[in-house]
Amino acid sequence: MLRLRDYQAEALRAVDQAAQRGVHRQLVVLPTGAGKTLVAAALSQRVAGRVLFLCHRDELVQQAVEKFGYLWPADAIGVVKAERDEHDRPIVVASVQTLQHRHRLARLDPTAFRLAIVDESHHAASRSYGAILTALGFWPTPGPGQLLVGLTATPMRGDGVGLGRIFDAITYRRSIQDLVRAGYLADVRGVRVATRIRLQGVRRTRGDFQLRDLSLAVDTPARNRLVVDAYRQYGEGRKAVAFTVDIAHAQHLADAFVEAGYQADWISGALPLDERRARLARFRDGPTRLLTNCNVLAEGYDDPSIEAVIMARPTRSKTLFIQAVGRGLRPYPGKVDCLVLDMADSGHDLVTLATLTHDGELAGRSATGTAPGERAAEEADLTPADLPVQITGTVPVDLLARSQFVWRVERHRMTLEAGPGKDIRCEQIGSDDRWTVTLWQRGARVPLADQPLPLAYAQGVAEDWVRDQNLEGYAAHDARWRQRAATDKQRVLLNQLGQPVPATLTREAATGLIRETLRRRALTDPDAPWRRDPASERQVAWMTDHGLPVPPGFTKGDFQAVLETWKPRNRTTGVR
């Protein structure tokens, strides 16, 4: 039931048409969060032969396997990594790190593969990629019936090495701006944080700043406090990830957040794998709300609940900046936009949110007209603590409000009223971005997807079902019935529930009022059937996290009773 989005289907058609024209080394450019791996999985279904999906890092292999699993059976997908050597499957997912070892690469039969897909392909001009693609016959000239496709959000390299050495043409491209407007990505709201740090004396290497010099320039207590102050003023309460120059900078910035009273931590590739996973788990599930990082989260990290990106590292690399901002673009329930705190140090050729806005990479509207460098002269005499925090661009639009349909959003559930007596519920499973899609109709439950999906795809499955059933006239925002006067039946029921009934009450407003009144009554009714249901996994986890015992037979009603006696400052109401 998983249907490709319109632009994903367009990408497949573009690849097919280009291949028919004889373009056998293609590059497809889609923003972070656009579902590039799903495009790869669908493209693999069109090939009469085996497929290699090449990841940039070992940590991204399992993530790719999960995405391929939306369209392929599990036993068709093989992994070549560490102790796994499933090199004979129709789909082989491997990392460059693993296939750099000659004995691992030699296990792959070069005559069997018809499609090679390179993920994060802005790295593909390196020698390690070239050696792998050459051994399998995809480069410099693909063999008969072979196709090489690169996937990236950033078709440029910071070191000036062109991707034209590997790929012949960009055959399909959609920008962040395109997908924000279409409602597939969260909006971007930019906040420019002016500093008096001058970068003119910082040396450069491979197209960007030399890291040691850059760290000495920007990793200062005053600048780190300015980052914290900017977050407090504009991002308070948002789950945020910060990008830093080096490990020491990540540690120092995390310490500054902790000293200010925030739940913060840091992460780097130098940490042991188990420790990295533990810190990422605490960030994903809580209690960590702010995570600083050095060279770990810029590519391939998926946590759609991230609501803010802090660019504490100045950069001249458009690739790095776009990849970092992309961490916050995925949609999530209740997430209105992605806030980008853009540290605007004084330096030439810096990539900032404003410069990306001007060249069309990100959508934005100038709120103050301030651009990088404009205030350098008047800021020269200010200390970092005195510098103002200025908003330079904002496009806050609720993601779900742009949907054609009306969604009710709760913490772990989204509900689409599909028709009279028909609801489609997307419910989160665990703490990951995995959602079931179920049709509720007259008490019966019908799954609309055979496995949990990321939220954006779960939402798409639900809306596609409505369209297939020709129910847009009921579920859409502009459905005529919503503005009609409340029915006599609704008015009678509201009177019985003790609710006032204004003369101007509409059917939609009456439906919402009835639903909310019945929900509140169900929460307070001591005999409500839901109270006898076993406590959910989330409720049990809450009890455990707070050091409370969970006796045998613990029910949802028992949990509600615990909440009602909990300390007022910690009380959570209405959890079921």
* pLDDT score for 509: 82
* Tokens representing residue 20 in the block: 């028919």
Choose among 35, 12, 36: nearest CA to 454.
35
Higher-scoring residue by pLDDT: 87, 176 = 87
The DSSP secondary-structure symbol of 365 reads -
* pLDDT score for 137: 94
559 pLDDT more than 80: yes
Could you tell me the CATH superfamily of domain 180-399? P-loop containing nucleotide triphosphate hydrolases (3.40.50.300)
Q: Distance between CA atoms of 478 and 498, rounded to whole angstroms?
A: 30
The single residue listed with the structure tokens 């350098």 is: 376
Strand partners, 333: none
Range 169-189 average pLDDT: 83
**Which residues, 6+ apart, have CB-to-CB distance to 49 below 8 Å?**
112, 113, 114, 115, 145
Contact of 310 with 227, CB cutoff 8 Å: yes
Range 462-486 average pLDDT: 86
Q: Reduce the DSSP state of residue 390 to 3 states and report it.
A: strand
Q: Distance between CA atoms of 84 and 80, rounded to whole angstroms?
A: 5
Contact of 392 with 360, CB cutoff 8 Å: no
Please tell me which of 31-35, 240-244, 272-276, 431-435 the model is most confident about, judged by mean pLDDT.
Answer: 240-244
pTM of the model: 0.66
Task: Work out the mean pLDDT of the chain and round it to a whole number.
Answer: 81
pLDDT tens by residue, 279-299: 998 998 889 999 999 878 866
The DSSP secondary-structure symbol of 234 reads I
Q: What is the 3-state secondary structure (H, E, C) of 290-345?
A: EEEEECCCCCCCCCCCCCEEEECCCCCCHHHHHHHHHCCCCCCCCCCEEEEEEEEE
Q: Distance between CA atoms of 7 and 36, rounded to whole angstroms?
A: 11
* pLDDT score for 265: 97
Choose among 63, 47, 46, 42: nearest CA to 120.
63
The single residue listed with the structure tokens 């990236």 is: 152
* Tokens representing residue 201 in the block: 């004396």
Please, which pLDDT band fits residue 250 given cuts at 50, 70 and 90? very high
Cα of 149 vs its chain's centroid, Å? 23
Matching CATH topology for 6-174 and 180-399?
A: yes
Please, which pLDDT band fits residue 189 given cuts at 50, 70 and 90? confident
pLDDT tens by residue, 498-554: 888 888 888 878 887 887 777 777 767 777 777 888 888 778 888 887 788 898 889
Choose among 152, 156, 175: nearest CA to 28.
152
Query: What is the torsional sign of CA 153, 154, 155, 157?
Result: negative
**Which residues, 6+ apart, have CB-to-CB distance to 99 below 8 Å?**
54, 80, 105, 108, 132
**Most distant CA pair in the chain, distance:** 79
pLDDT tens by residue, 208-219: 888 899 999 899
Range 211-234 average pLDDT: 91
Higher-scoring residue by pLDDT: 465, 527 = 465
Contact of 95 with 61, CB cutoff 8 Å: yes
Question: Which of 33-47, 69-83, 320-334, 390-404 has the least mean pLDDT?
Answer: 390-404
Question: Which of 34-48, 207-221, 339-353 has the least mean pLDDT?
Answer: 339-353
51 pLDDT more than 70: yes
* pLDDT score for 25: 94
* Tokens representing residue 25 in the block: 């080394």
What percent of the chain shows pLDDT beyond 70? 85
Number of H helices, E strands in the chain: 20, 22
Q: Distance between CA atoms of 127 and 121, rounded to whole angstroms?
A: 13
* pLDDT score for 31: 86
* pLDDT score for 245: 94
* Tokens representing residue 238 in the block: 């948002």
Range 79-88 average pLDDT: 92
Please tell me which of 39-43, 100-104, 380-384, 415-419 the model is most confident about, judged by mean pLDDT.
Answer: 39-43
* Tokens representing residue 175 in the block: 């920008």
Could you tell me the CATH superfamily of domain 6-174? P-loop containing nucleotide triphosphate hydrolases (3.40.50.300)
Q: What is the residue type of 296? A: V
58 pLDDT more than 90: no
Question: Which of 186-195, 453-462, 521-530 has the least mean pLDDT?
Answer: 521-530
Q: What is the 3-state secondary structure (H, E, C) of 445-463?
A: EEECCCCCECHHHHHHHHH
Burial class (CB in 10 A: 0-12, 13-18, 19+), 411: exposed
Higher-scoring residue by pLDDT: 39, 63 = 39
Q: Reduce the DSSP state of residue 181 to 3 states and report it.
A: helix
Choose among 68, 96, 70: nearest CA to 81.
96
Burial code (b: 16+ CB inside 10 Å, e: under 16) for 301-332 equals: bbbbbbbbbbbbbbbbbbbbbbbbbbbbbbbb
Distances (CA, A) of 534 to 309, 403, 436, 464, 541: 39, 35, 20, 33, 13
Domain ranges of the chain: 6-174, 180-399, 401-525, 531-570
* pLDDT score for 8: 95
* pLDDT score for 401: 43
1 pLDDT more than 90: no
Please, which pLDDT band fits residue 231 given cuts at 50, 70 and 90? very high
